[in-house]
Amino acid sequence: MYWLAMLTMLIDHVGLVFFPTDPAWRIAGRLAFPIYAYALYMGYTRTRNMRSYMLRLLGLALISQVPYMLAFDVHRPNVIWTLLTSLLALAAASRMKHWAAITGLYVLIALFMELSQMDYGAYGLLLVLIYRYTRSYMIIAAHFVLNVVYDMVHHANIQHFSLLSSILIVCFATEESGFYNRVPRWLWRSFYPVHLAVIALIRIWP
């Protein structure tokens, strides 16, 4: 599954930059983010050092920012900032006991993500929360509802294809499936900034 996330992300980004009129590339790319969001949640539940995990994401976000802007000709935070902010939200919520305070925290963070124009914005946080608070086929149902709302707000019906990733996660995300550990850590952590740097170089090469 992690290989699938990297491959479909690469397909998505290549299509966005070099084949923007061909929707097939973007459709394939919808599978990537849910797997990364689920991987973030699993990292949250499994890490022994939350501070180190956050700092690692912060480093990746900083390293990736310039390649991200050059590759896509944009001026907004890349998706690692979305994942890092979602992780901070989970960590902060774990220290709270009242549901109203937790809900208020999530709403404020979602608004911040939207106002700062993070990649995926509040959608990214909400998808992470779906993996945090729902189980089994409720994950699929909640992700479907999220996609419907997102489509209504942003007129992005292509996002419905991302539901396939949640279906795969529900059906195959087990220890026995090798979902978690078949990608070398160095490759998993470096793939995002490295592939963006390559795309940026090809795009701006005279």
Residue 76 · residue 59 · CB < 8 Å: no
Q: Phi, psi at residue 119, to the nearest 5°?
A: -60, 125
Query: For the residues 94-98, what does the mean pLDDT come to?
Result: 93
Q: 11: pLDDT confidence band, cut at 50, 70 and 90?
A: very high
Residue 54 · residue 88 · CB < 8 Å: yes
Query: For the residues 132-150, what does the mean pLDDT come to?
Result: 97
Q: 94: pLDDT confidence band, cut at 50, 70 and 90?
A: very high
Cα 157 from Cα 76, distance rounded (Å): 23
pLDDT for the residue 133? 97
- Closest to 140 measured CA to CA, from 94, 109, 107, 171: 171
Percent of the chain scoring above 90 in pLDDT: 90
pLDDT for the residue 178? 54
Q: What is the pLDDT of residues 21-38, one digit of tens each?
A: 999 999 999 999 999 999
Residue 14 · residue 38 · CB < 8 Å: no
Q: What is the pLDDT of residues 146-192, one digit of tens each?
A: 999 999 999 999 999 999 999 999 998 765 555 555 788 889 999 99
pLDDT for the residue 179? 57
pLDDT for the residue 205? 86
pLDDT for the residue 24? 97
Does the pTM surpass 0.85? The reply is: yes
DSSP 119: T
Query: For the residues 81-104, what does the mean pLDDT come to?
Result: 96
Q: Evaluate if residue 47 carries a pLDDT over 60.
A: yes
Cα 169 from Cα 179, distance rounded (Å): 9
